[in-house]
Structure 1
Amino acid sequence: MYLEDVAMLEEQQDEKLQVMRNLLKQAPPEEFNEVFNDLRLLVDDDSLMSQEAACLWALHNKVYFTPVRQEECEVLLTRHNELEENRFLDPQKQVSFKFDHLRKQASDFQAHAQEDKKGEMWRRALYEALNIYVSSHYAEGLCSVFIKDTAVRKILVACIEGHLNRPSAFWNGLWKSEWTVGLTPTSTSAQVTGTIDVHAHYFEDGNIHLTVCKEVSGTLPITSEAQTAQDFVKLAEKADNQLQADLAEEYQKMNDSHLKAFRRQLPITHSTIDWEKMVTARIVERLNNAWLG
């Protein structure tokens, strides 16, 4: 009987851990800390929480292109510039650094020069053109450009991140995109592919999370580094503008129909959930258990 009880407890622990992982992976951009703290109160098991926190925190920061702005570096955290576990590259300032995902702090800066001079010319030209666009169109936006070598071609990876967090107004938003430009030595054109992701989270007396993903593709004529970079920026800007127009049109449709229906029908009880009361009751229960124990 003892072994059966142990096996059942382990199964329950594994199930609880999987549920916790799934919830943390669904944390909206810039809200991992809030989701973690809420789960910590509900799970009431710090050892279990600590098993997954660091790994999932790092994944969250890389998936949503967390910006790092310090005197020594200004770069986005992505899978493309991760050198090893918790160490990243800023190709623009040619430094590598260690990153604490929990504190969101960079340290241990080391020089990291780009050996491929020709590739660096392409990367820097694309970054300079893209940075002008991002600075004028994204509030608090940041971009980074990385270069990867394969046996056949060089691949430029451009990442853009722009977020607005307004928790006092009960909403947060993120617009990010990832672009690849393939440069083949004998080709006169470059293939471009991109993915634009938009996240909006509204949480006043409810929880509405909008996620939009758009795939983009095209080709660019390869001329000089500067001209090709300018052509790429025009392609990215056109895709951004089209998606923004589509979202504005769709939002108007939702506001005229679906959102009004939500307000009439949800919640079924016709009353809001008092989350503060539920959390307070949970804390009181834990204190009573500790006192009686």
Structure 2
Amino acid sequence: MADGVDEPEEAAELGEKEKLEIAKWFLTNAPAGEIHYVAKDIRSILGDDKIYETAAAEAFPLYNKALLIVLELPDRSGDVIITTYGELDENNYFDPRTAQVATVDHVKQVCTNLRPASDEELPSPYIEEFRCALDAELCKYVGEAYPKGTCAVYCTRGKDVEGPGTDFEFAVVISAARHSPQNFCNGSWRSIWKLEFKDELQVVEIHGKLQVGAHYFEEGNVQLDANNECKDSTIMQSPEDCAVSITSMIHHHESEYMASLEASYLDLPDTTFKDLRRKLPVTRTLFPWHNTLQFSLTRDITKELGIGK
């Protein structure tokens, strides 16, 4: 105390654990395509390489799987999607289309090694027939609908089924991104479709989750984070017929959701933006749009300064 006034208490220094958790939060919540920019700033602010490297090692795998990032295989035979459906362990991911396993450096976001999948990691010929047919149809759809889009079909249950009579499940993953930091915008489309093939009922139940993210940051910070869920079903048929039917339904639901987003953008001026406006100004008086001359700034300044007398 000095002259009867209490000295302000200094802010308590954050411990290593708190710094680590804060750094992880910022990294895992970085917009699509921007985690390396966030990481650079986090590292500079922390000033502690040990804490940063620990945070990065924990956050990057979570971010990569959440954003369904796509990495080119070392032999350039295709791409691998970083998703829990293809995750064999923290650093190894299965690509069902090429039947290979890629070793991934999460922080650098590159594939460092590649090996053929083992027989135990591959589905049975019966399951693979359904998977391949669906994968082929999806590739056509994604190639037309999403520039630089990538898709994959994983067997999530029943990969050892040898023939009719048993249920099995697939997961369809679609990932598309548009990164243009030089134009101050980045975005991503992610959709996951869970397919339940019910042999006894001869039906395929379809459950989809769609996620869209966009970030525009020229002289501002505007973000979109939208998601939607839907479900459908179709008759279980031959692998080729199932593939066509399922892809058609995925196409329908994704196109419908995209159309709803576009419609909401058109309504923004009359709905969202209008609701953000103050109902009354701080003067509690509505602005007289019918007679704006009474608020003439030129006239008021002329009067105050005595100009034109």
Could you state the TM-score of these two structures normalised by the residue count of structure 1? 0.81
Moved over 3 A (4+): 255-264
Q: Does 1:59 align with 2:73?
A: no
Contact 2:24 2:58 in 1 (8 A): no
Instruction: Provide the C-alpha distance between the structure 1 equivalents of 2:141 and 2:134, rounded to a whole number of angstroms.
Output: 11
Report the AA paired with residue 137 of structure 1: A
**CA offsets per residue over residues 169-201 of structure 1, 9 Å max, x none?**
111111110001111232211111010000010
CA deviation after TM superposition for structure 1 residue 244, in Å? 1.1
What's the counterpart of residue 270 of structure 1?
none
What's the counterpart of residue 235 of structure 2?
221
What SS does structure 1 have at the residue aligned with 2:15?
helix
Higher radius of gyration, 1 or 2: 2
What's the counterpart of residue 122 of structure 1?
130
What's the counterpart of residue 266 of structure 2?
252
Q: 125, 132, 136: which one pairs with 2:144? A: 136
What's the counterpart of residue 87 of structure 2?
82
What's the counterpart of residue 158 of structure 1?
172
User: CA, structure 1 residues 55+134, in 2 after alignment: closer, same or farther (shift >3 Å)?
Assistant: same
Q: Sequence identity, in percent?
A: 26
Q: 102, 110, 118: which one pairs with 2:115? A: 110
RMSD: 2.1
Q: How many residues align?
A: 256
What SS does structure 2 have at the residue aligned with 1:232?
helix
Instruction: Provide the C-alpha distance between the structure 1 equivalents of 2:104 and 2:111, rounded to a whole number of angstroms.
Output: 4
What's the counterpart of residue 30 of structure 2?
27
Q: 190, 194, 218: which one pairs with 1:204? A: 218
Consecutive unaligned residues in structure 1, runs of 5 or more: 1-7, 265-293
Contact 2:191 2:208 in 1 (8 A): yes
**CA offsets per residue over residues 226-280 of structure 1, 9 Å max, x none?**
111111111111111111111111112224554588799xxxxxxxxxxxxxxxx
Q: Which moved more, 1:22-31 or 1:134-143?
A: 22-31
What SS does structure 1 have at the residue aligned with 2:98?
coil
What's the counterpart of residue 273 of structure 1?
none
Instruction: Provide the C-alpha distance between the structure 1 equivalents of 2:77 and 2:114, rounded to a whole number of angstroms.
Output: 8
What SS does structure 2 have at the residue aligned with 1:155?
strand
What SS does structure 1 have at the residue aligned with 2:60?
helix
Contact 1:72 1:109 in 2 (8 A): no
User: CA, structure 1 residues 33+42, in 2 after alignment: closer, same or farther (shift >3 Å)?
Assistant: same
Instruction: Provide the C-alpha distance between the structure 2 equivalents of 1:102 and 1:168, rounded to a whole number of angstroms.
Output: 22
Q: 150, 153, 156: which one pairs with 1:145? A: 153
User: CA, structure 1 residues 129+164, in 2 after alignment: closer, same or farther (shift >3 Å)?
Assistant: same
What SS does structure 1 have at the residue aligned with 2:256?
helix
**CA offsets per residue over residues 110-130 of structure 1, 9 Å max, x none?**
211424111111111111000
What SS does structure 1 have at the residue aligned with 2:131?
helix
Instruction: Provide the C-alpha distance between the structure 2 equivalents of 1:261 and 1:38, rounded to a whole number of angstroms.
Output: 35
Could you state the TM-score of these two structures normalised by the residue count of structure 2? 0.77
Instruction: Provide the C-alpha distance between the structure 1 equivalents of 2:82 and 2:108, rounded to a whole number of angstroms.
Output: 14
Contact 1:62 1:77 in 2 (8 A): yes
Contact 1:188 1:221 in 2 (8 A): yes
Give the helix-richer structure, 1 or 2. Answer: 1
**CA offsets per residue over residues 145-169 of structure 1, 9 Å max, x none?**
1002259631111000111111111
